[in-house]
Structure 1
Amino acid sequence: MLRLSALYRYPLKSGKAEILQQVGLDKLGVDGDRRWMLVDEASGRFLTQRAVARMSQLSALWNSKGGLTLSSPGYPPLDVALPGGNAELRGVTIWRDTLRVPDAGDAAAAWVSDFIGKPTRLVQIPLERARTTEAGYGRDDDQVAFADGYPLLVIGQASLDDLSQRIGRPMEMLRFRPNLVIEGSAAFAEDNWKRLRIGDVEFRAVKPCSRCILTTIDPQTGERSADREPFATLETYRKTENGAIFGQNLVNDGIGRLEVGMPVTILE
């Protein structure tokens, strides 16, 4: 039997994961997932672990009011409120998308600038300013917050086990930053899923997830693997014309709640 074996949320894009036992889903995926982002103050361009590996050590815990608590070793915690309706709007760029979103204010900016080491702003994306997903995949009205392309990512536990065996040492699931992990399927079965149901919520698989050098960053230490693993091995047997793929991007068709242990049904 297939079951939901792990749930993760990443309140801040490229920040540390929250490990969850249960969570709600809204129109943009997991409640509070990647609703916040760091941007270069001058250009508005988004910042991630690809360029700033130490972001893996930045904790941003989401609270039920939508705000964050920022913390990292050596830095005092900072509570950041959800920007109000009169918050300054800042122009930002994430991949090919340019949009205007609420800025979290100067106190948050001072904290993240000190952490990053250059002038940086913290921004938040409300539902009404959500981006649309990549054209050509899913539906025209599918939306996403600050995740790279889609609201949710699912990975089968057997897929990680297969990769770890090939590398010769265990790989951490959090290197791949999924929202949902499913046990009980064959390795890479998720490649072929089109629709699935967990609890009362149905999901559509819209596109395999192409991986990058970010997977080589140890989520515990923030250090890059000297041997480029697991990306190096992925490229030997999972490479496609769209890159080395690992995991499946999903869109949820409805809202509801998920809980670790729930059965998973593959509908198509």
Structure 2
Amino acid sequence: MSGLLAGIFRHPVKGFTPEPLTSVELAPGQGFPFDRIYAVENGPSGFDERAPAFVPKQKFTVLASLPKVAAVRTRYHGASGDLEASAPGAPPFFGQLTAPAGRAAFAHWLAGILGEDAPGPLKVIASPESWRFTDHPLGQVSVINLASIADLSRRMGAELDPLRFRANLYVDGWPAWAEHGWTGRKLMLGWAEAEVFKPIVRCAATEVNPATAERDQDIPKALFEAFGDMHCGVYVRVTRPGRASLGDACTAPQEEPAALS
């Protein structure tokens, strides 16, 4: 059973604008390139770049707690480390996130936009080497089945933008909810091989409309009412390196053979 890779996205600053790609090189243990390599602390998080360890997303400026973040549009230039950002009613920002002064300048600019919603103090922190500020300490790459989003839209009576789910890879052509039960199984993502690590538990971040920056759909509730859990999408770990490009085949795990009686 194969689908096609219909979307590839990175999120250089955790919680902020998804950036579309046409292809990506995936490798074991490397994290998704330029994905969640920065995060903005909303008050001290305890993160130590000399000994990086998982920090809950509630410590950062993320959509789950701050819908206004969706009103900020960002674009990261990986070669230079420069960040462009804009928001309604604010002057544009341009600075180099690879430099401490640039990170401090972005935090100051962002504080003026988020205001009392983010008491802070805000501080932009950078990931060391292959570390990523993902929502799960072992979630390397996130994958969404577009048919599942279409089915959830039908159930809720509203067209849901798949970008609410902030995945790295979006696959078209798999049956809806086929990914349920894939934990521990292998699949191909373009030319890369991966193993499904776990389903993704959805939180209040998905309630925020990425176009309006407002909470308008209770997606976790809808998932629980439909399935008894709040799972949508899967985390995978890359087990064999390869390139994944738009239009590439994404071969789902084969059915396990029935046990002989």
Q: Same fold (TM over 0.5)?
A: yes
Corresponding residue SS for 1:2? strand
CA distance in 2: counterparts of 1:199 and 1:64, whole angstroms? 23
CA distance in 1, matches of 2:19, 2:227: 28
3-state SS of 1:196 partner:
strand
Q: How many Å separate the matches in 1 of 2:13 and 2:227?
A: 28
1:189 is paired with a residue whose SS is: coil
Q: CA separation of 1:41/1:229 partners in 2, compared to 1, >3 Å: closer, same or farther?
A: closer
1:84-233 paired onto structure 2 within 5 Å: 105-117=103-115, 118=119, 119-127=121-129, 130=131, 145-149=132-136, 150-193=139-182, 194-225=185-216, 228-233=217-222
Q: CA deviation at 1:37?
A: 0.7
Deviations along 1:147-192, whole A, 9 cap, x unmatched? 1011221111111111111112211111111111111111111123
The number of residues matched between the two structures is 231
Match of 1:33 among 32, 35, 53: 35
Which residues of structure 1 form unaligned runs of 5+? 88-102, 131-144
| Alignment-derived partner of residue 91 in structure 1 | none
2:69 pairs, out of 52, 55, 62, with 55
1:170-228, Cα deviation, whole Å (9 max, x unpaired): 11111111111111111111123321112321111101111112211111001011xx4
Q: Residues 11 and 265 from structure 1, CA distance in 2 versus in 1: closer, same or farther, beyond 3 angstroms?
A: same
Structure 1 CA distance for aligned equivalents of residues 26 and 102 of structure 2 = 24
Q: Say whether the 8 Å CA contact 1:16–1:57 is kept in structure 2.
A: no
Question: Distance in 2 between the 1:41 and 1:56 partners?
Answer: 20
Counterpart CA distance in 2 for 1:56 and 1:105 is 19
SS, match of residue 251 in structure 1: strand
The CA deviation string for residues 22-64 of structure 1, in whole angstroms up to 9 with x for no partner, is 2333544321111111112455632211221111122221212
Deviation of 1:108 (Å): 2.1
Give the SS at the match of 2:179: helix
TM-score (norm 2): 0.80
Normalised by the length of structure 1, the TM-score is 0.78
Distance 2:85 2:44 in 1: 22
Higher relative contact order (CA 8 A, sep 6+): 2
Q: Is contact 2:96-2:103 (8 Å) kept?
A: no
Name 2:84's counterpart in structure 1.
Answer: 69
Q: For the Cα contact (< 8 Å) 1:104–1:123, is it kept in 2?
A: no
Secondary structure of 1:49's counterpart equals: coil
Greater Cα shift, 38-47 or 194-203: 38-47
CA–CA distance in structure 1, aligned partners of residues 4 and 11 of structure 2: 22
Identity level (%): 29
- Partner of 1:246 in structure 2? 232
CA distance in 2, matches of 1:158, 1:105: 39
Structure 1 match to 2:243: 257
Q: Does the CA contact (< 8 Å) of 2:4 and 2:173 recur in 1?
A: yes
* CA distance in 1 between partners of 2:208 and 2:173 (Å): 27
CA drift of 1:82 comes to: 4.1
Aligned AA (1:2): G
What's the CA shift for 1:113? 1.7
| Aligned 8 A contact 1:8 1:179 in 2 | yes
Cα root mean square deviation, aligned: 2.2
Note the residue ranges of structure 2 that are not aligned, 5 or more in a row: 47-58, 255-261
Contact 1:195–1:267 (Cα < 8 Å) also in 2: yes
